[in-house]
A and B are shown apart, each in its own frame.
Chain A
Amino acid sequence: AQSVSQHNHHVILSEAASLELGCNYSYGGTVNLFWYVQYPGQHLQLLLKYFSGDPLVKGIKGFEAEFIKSKFSFNLRKPSVQWSDTAEYFCAVNAGNNRKLIWGLGTSLAVNP
């Protein structure tokens, strides 16, 4: 069965530290990849997405992610986090010819000022 694995469940960082959140998926065919963010008290919103082309994609608020097909990975990065990045981050994959997303369990990020 297709699955998405987020390696870090809880991450605590200080402001200005660099961030990398891991995401791996299990599917051998074409995929569309997403990172969503849920700030405290707010609804889920799209951070960035990959459909095709340049495997390094840039999203909102300085986030980027790199699609490495050989590793089935789509890790999220930010060079310098801010307190306002405190949120829950979800990786999701659309695989095959259907309209469902497969979700990771999420990573809770806390950034200390």
Chain B
Amino acid sequence: DGGITQSPKYLFRKEGQNVTLSCEQNLNHDAMYWYRQDPGQGLRLIYYSQIVNDFQKGDIAEGYSVSREKKESFPLTVTSAQKNPTAFYLCASIPTGSYNEQFFGPGTRLTVL
């Protein structure tokens, strides 16, 4: 089955710790995205990557970092510099040549205690 996998579904961390969220896709999509979803605030773009070894900051990149070493994988690190990290994080991807229809993973709910 093709799709986007995010793991784990729920993640708990202590304040001050970095944490890495996984996003893997086997759809052969070129572009991948990380969003943060908070109640009443819609989806806010953190980072995106259009090709391997390249990525761009989105609207709220501060306190986050990413890498894109493989086409299939786009992990997001939430660093201790992120002031309010507790949120629902969504990963998405877009196939090559599409009209930018995004496909989403199931999300990871991060709670920082």
Partner of A101, one of B40, B102, B105: B102
List of A residues within 8 angstroms of B1 by Cβ? none
Whether A9 sits at the interface, judged by CB under 8 Å, is: yes
Does A34 have its Cβ within 8 Å of any Cβ on chain B? Answer: yes
User: In this complex, what residue of A is CB-closest to B42?
Assistant: A105
Please report the number of residue pairs spanning A and B whose Cβ atoms sit closer than 8 angstroms: 48
Contacts of A106 in B (CB 8 A): 40, 42
User: 1/0 contact trace for A42-56 toward B, CB 8 Å?
Assistant: 111110010100000
Q: Pick the residue among B45, B48, B90, B94 that contacts A44 (CB under 8 A).
A: B90
Q: Chain B: interface residue count, which band?
A: 20 to 34
**C-alpha gap A64/B94 in the complex (Å):** 23
B66 CB-CB contact with A under 8 Å: no
Q: How far is the CA of A46 from the CA of B92 in the complex (A)?
A: 12
Residues in B neighbouring A103, C-beta threshold 8 A: 42-44
Nearest Cβ on chain A to B69's Cβ, whole angstroms:
20
- The residue that A51 contacts in the complex, of B41, B99, B103, with Cβ under 8 A, is B99
Q: With contacts A43-B106, A99-B31, A99-B94 known, is A94 near B100, CB below 8 A?
A: yes
Cα distance A43–B107 in the bound complex, in angstroms:
7
Does B55 reach chain A (CB closer than 8 Å)?
A: no
Interface residues on A, range: 20 to 34
* Cα–Cα, bound, A44→B103 (Å): 8
Contacts of B90 in A (CB 8 A): 43-44
Across the interface, do A105 and B104 meet the contact criterion of CB distance under 8 Å? no
Pair B40/A99 contact, Cβ less than 8 Å: no
Question: Are B106 and A32 in contact, with the CB atoms below 8 A?
Answer: no
Contact call B42/A104, Cβ cutoff below 8 A: yes
- Could you tell me the distance in whole angstroms from the C-beta of B94 to the nearest C-beta in chain A? 6
Q: If the complex has contacts A44-B90, A100-B48, are A49 and B99 also in contact, measured as CB distance less than 8 A?
A: yes
Which residues of A lie under 8 Å from residue B100 when comparing CB positions? 32, 94, 99-101
Point out residues on B near A: beta carbons under 8 Å. Answer: 31, 33, 40-45, 48, 50, 58, 90, 92, 94, 99-107
Binding site for B on A (CB under 8 A): 9, 32, 34, 36, 42-46, 49, 51, 90, 92, 94, 99-101, 103-106
